[in-house]
Amino acid sequence: MTQAFLDVRDLRVQFPTEDGLVNAVDGVDFSVEKGKTLAIVGESGSGKSVTSQAIMGLINRKSAKMTGEVYLEGEELVGARPEQVRSLRGKRMAMIFQDPLSSLHPFYTIGKQLAEAVLVHQKVSKSEAYGQARDMLARVGIPNPERRIKDYPHNLSGGMRQRVMIAMALLNSPELLIADEPTTALDVTVQAQILDLLRSLQAEFGTAIVLITHDLGVVADMADDVVVMYGGRVVERGSVQDIYYRPEMPYTWGLLGSVPRMDVDRGERLQPIPGQPPSLIRLPKGCVFRPRCPYHELVPGNRCDTDRPDLEPITPEHAVRCHLEPAQRREIAAERLTARGGNVAGGGADPDNPTSTRRTEDSTLRTDPASTASPATTTQEDPK
């Protein structure tokens, strides 16, 4: 078995507040091998971004409590000295942040901020650092990089600022790249270019990628494995084929069933998940998804109200956190599968089942990132 490059074990992050203790991340486990992509999906407030910040060493230990273990190629980071983690950040591991406007410094030009990332980790001259910055701006699709390198963040559109953040993360060819909603502000054309750039980096350097996103089309296109988070916990994890074609957690069914698809009958209404995500201060005593789960009555003894389910393995690669019996889960999933035309998300075919509705040429799940996008017309950004 290949050794994981990133190995996260029982990671917990708590924030004390006046209202109570916020359990932002509660016992998260996952691993990523070099050259592989792990996608973390879930609603806002499920703990995805806090998990990534904890891995990068960006949690303020004075205002938060963090426990567990994070290994980067065998090097433990949670108990490491801050300067040790800082030496790795930006070089061996990098992060594309969700909000570029608050991540870029308003007082410095784009070129100065990109060149600094090079100079900190490479022994090159200032002119060489600026040259690398210009080249990377061109690679992420920013027109006139010679001009843009002299601009300040407020001179750029939201999508262009996002591409600057991506350029900054890729400058030192990191071995681990954490991408927190990297294509949120981009139109579908530039989104495809950015995803191609991430693939080329991965192919060239064997980069391990952790992709945090709400776009299930991007997940299907990019990911090898998927972690589904809810209420600060992992509720299901498995290969992308397991999660899309053989999901066994009601929350995963809800996520996939609420996505619009272009390859099924548009007369069918989407099925949103009822209710709101739980407060991380006052989580339900039993299953955290119990207040929104339409299947809790199938579990005898009110266990969903009283007992927290463990993350139980179905196969060595697939695990789920649910009190429903495995036979019940498979029966419910099969009913939803039939109703949605091929998989729980709707359309498509199981690559392991050649008799299902549709099969791709290479027998792998690869969905057009635009297939789950809104049909509304996108507008190309003004390059100024």
Q: Tens digits of per-residue pLDDT, 253-304? A: 999 888 876 666 666 677 788 889 999 998 988 999 999 999 999 999 889 9
> Hey, how many other C-beta atoms are within 10 angstroms of the C-beta on 73?
16
Nearest-angstrom CA–CA distance, 85 and 95: 13
Angle (CA) 284-287-292 rounded to 5° is 80
What pLDDT does 271 receive?
Answer: 78
Residue spans per domain, the chain: 1-92+174-264+312-374, 103-173
Beta strands in the chain (DSSP E): 6-17, 20-32, 37-41, 65-72, 75-76, 93-96, 176-180, 208-212, 225-230, 233-239, 312-313, 319-320
Q: Per residue in 304-322, pLDDT tens?
A: 999 999 999 999 999 999 9
Nearest-angstrom CA–CA distance, 237 and 29: 10
In the predicted structure, residue 86 carries a pLDDT above the cut 80:
yes
> Hey, how many other C-beta atoms are within 10 angstroms of the C-beta on 90?
20
What pLDDT does 376 receive?
Answer: 39
CB 213 within 8 A of CB 194: no
Q: Going by DSSP bridges, is the β-strand pair 93-96/176-180 parallel, antiparallel, or unpaired?
A: parallel
Neighbour-count burial of 191, counting CB atoms closer than 10 A to its CB (0-12 exposed, 13-18 middle, 19+ buried):
buried
- If one compares 249 and 371, the residue with the highest pLDDT of the two is 249
**Which CATH number applies to 1-92+174-264+312-374: 3.30.70.3420, 3.40.50.300, 3.30.1330.10, 2.40.30.10?**
3.40.50.300
Q: Which of 111-120, 131-140, 144-153, 251-260 has the lowest mean pLDDT?
A: 251-260
This prediction's pTM: 0.84
Q: Which two tokens stand for residue 109?
A: 């030009």
Q: How confident is the model at residue 343 (pLDDT cuts 50, 70, 90)?
A: low
Average pLDDT over residues 142-161: 91
In the predicted structure, residue 135 carries a pLDDT above the cut 90:
yes
